[in-house]
Chains A and B, each alone.
Chain A
Amino acid sequence: MRVALAVAFALAGVLGGGGPAVAERLVASLTNHHVMITSNYTGVELVLFGSVEQDATSLGRHGPYDIVATITGPRETVRTRRKQRVLGIWVNTQARTFVDPPSYLAVLANRPLDAITGADNLRRLRLGIANTPLPELIHNDIGEVSNDPFRAALVRLMGERGLYSEQSNAVTFLTPTLFRAAIALPAQVPIGDYDVDVKLFADGSLIGHTNSAFEIVKVGFEQFVVNAARDHGVLYGLAMAMLALLTGWIASVAFRRD
């Protein structure tokens, strides 16, 4: 699927570069390529800037431009569980494993996606959360399930945490060719590499795209704690045990009354 996408992009590139109709170039950049999670991190907002560069042949020829920016976070396998009443209590009885869905997915546009281009085009370009593939593990096979309530639940729950979002007013054009978009990263944002894919549309067709990326890292003490806990579990545990005993001892000395 990635290959197919790459081919599609290459084709678009060839058509864009060689075709007589399209001569716009899309440039975009982020305000920050490293987001640091420190002890006072409670979420952050990145800004994506970009402009559509026109040359002499394209000047004024296209109607208003449309931008769709897709931000995809690191991929991690997720289980979605459903509760059912068993003997009067609510128990997780069914579960589906989603293989490597993005842990963060934001689709930002300047107007509703279906107003920018047709449904077929959106499906083909995999634009929007509904068109993003979220493959499931089915009997050791990986595939898509249509109209799956577990998929809907995953999208909804990720949405409630601010991790999946589709916003049709997040991109604003400052001038007809200059745009900006705010990327909201909530407090529970997963660490890792994020891809930013920006697509330029005019009159319902894709006429350009560009990529960017940023990285979310834990730094300093947070980084140290996470690494220690993950890579040196036993040592970390022993250190925690020592810390507990030390705290207990200090308390008993500090409050000693005899």
Chain B
Amino acid sequence: MQIYLPIADIPVNVFLVLAMGLAVGFLSGMFGVGGGFLMTPLLIFIGVQPAVAVASVTTHVAASSFSGAIAYWRRNAIDVTLALTLLAGGIVGSAGGVALFTWLRTLDQLDLAIGLSYVTFLGVVGVLMVAESARAINRSRRGKPAELRRPGSHIWFHGLPLKLRFKRSKVYVSAIPVLAIGFIIGFIGAVMGIGGGFLLVPMLIYLLRVPTATVIGTSMVLIFVTMTATTVLHAATNHLVDAVLALILMVGGVIGAQFGAHAGQRIRGEWLRLLLGLLVLSVGLRFAFELVLRPDDLYSIRLVGGAL
């Protein structure tokens, strides 16, 4: 059944988009990430303009992370102080990201910027995840115990002023790196159309030493607020959020996420991280090929003031 997307200005098959929402939702529930980094490329692949894809996926990520955040809230697994501090940086980052997005579009370089950021972030994070999980799998094969957290190790920014105590997470750290992480996630989220969970979770664990008990719930809160703000900002400045597309994605995404979360609990942590790492890496490679290989058509057109 074909349905016409009013903002993207193309007809798409409802069941195809719904299936994509379900599949990405499944993976996002399984790995505990928003899934924006998979959804945006898929939409571009079926012919939605990158700008509309990015803007509409933010709405989808807002919905799926909100349902996730509620679930973690019930389990009391959210550090509210940490989430609020991250948010202060995140909202500023979103506004900056949307402004950069608008500016790049007028320069005809938006598609390039989206491609380059995907290659960079997905490539780096994918390699790190695969390497880390492979080491963990190797260790457990040899029968050694899993590496423990090193609580004493200090990084330079632990000496920064404005220290805050995040009780729920049992960390005592300067507000500056927390605000900076929030800003980075908000910023790249707006430009790439992703929640940034796959970047935020490792940053919270490795840089701020937030315990795993609160890390996912807290990151879900940050993602749902920044993505909600980004949706409003994208709609207000670029008029590119497609309500019909976003609704189909959201419905598919939240249902898929429930089944994914079940499946995820049956797989061991390090194998889950390895699979997610490989997935992230392959999406990054797909974008890299696109940038490096000679395009079929060197020319492209864009309607000025329109949505192309």
Contacts and interface: CB of A to CB of B under 8 A. Distances in A.
Nearest to A150: B299
Given A92-B300, A222-B6, A241-B228, A229 B235 contact: yes
B62 A245 contact: yes
A39 B305 CA distance: 23
Given A42-B4, A81-B108, A247-B251, A89 B67 contact: no
A8 interface: no
A57 interface: no
Nearest to A38: B4
Interface residues of A, number: 58
A238 B246 CA distance: 14
Interface in B108-142: 108-109, 111-112, 116
Interface string A92-106: 100101000001000
Contacts of B235: 229, 233-234, 236-237, 240
Interface stretch (B35-43, B199-207, B252-260, B274-282): B252-260
A245 B254 CA distance: 11
Contact of A39 (B3, B66, B246, B294): B3
Interface stretch (A71-79, A107-115, A196-204): A71-79
A62 interface: no
B301 A78 contact: yes
A258 B227 CA distance: 28
Contacts of A103: 303
Interface string B30-74: 000000000000000000000000000001101111111111001
Contacts of B237: 233
Contacts of B74: 258
Contact of A77 (B62, B243, B298, B304): B304
B219 to A, nearest CB: 15
B11 interface: yes
Given A240-B241, A244-B59, A76 B67 contact: no
Nearest to A226: B6
A38 B9 CA distance: 11
Interface of B: 1-4, 6-7, 9-11, 59-60, 62-71, 74, 108-109, 111-112, 116, 224, 227-229, 231-237, 239, 241-244, 246-247, 250-251, 254-255, 257-258, 291-295, 297-306, 308
26 contacts: A40-B1, A80-B301, A83-B298, A83-B299, A88-B292, A89-B116, A90-B291, A91-B109, A92-B109, A92-B112, A153-B299, A154-B299, A156-B299, A188-B9, A229-B6, A229-B243, A233-B237, A236-B235, A240-B235, A241-B231, A244-B60, A244-B62, A245-B224, A247-B247, A248-B254, A252-B71
Given A78-B304, A85-B294, A243-B243, 6 more contacts: A41-B4, A236-B241, A244-B60, A247-B67, A247-B247, A251-B258
Interface of A: 37-42, 76-85, 88-92, 95, 97, 103, 150, 153-154, 156-158, 187-188, 190, 218, 221-222, 225-226, 229-230, 233-234, 236-238, 240-241, 243-245, 247-252, 255, 258
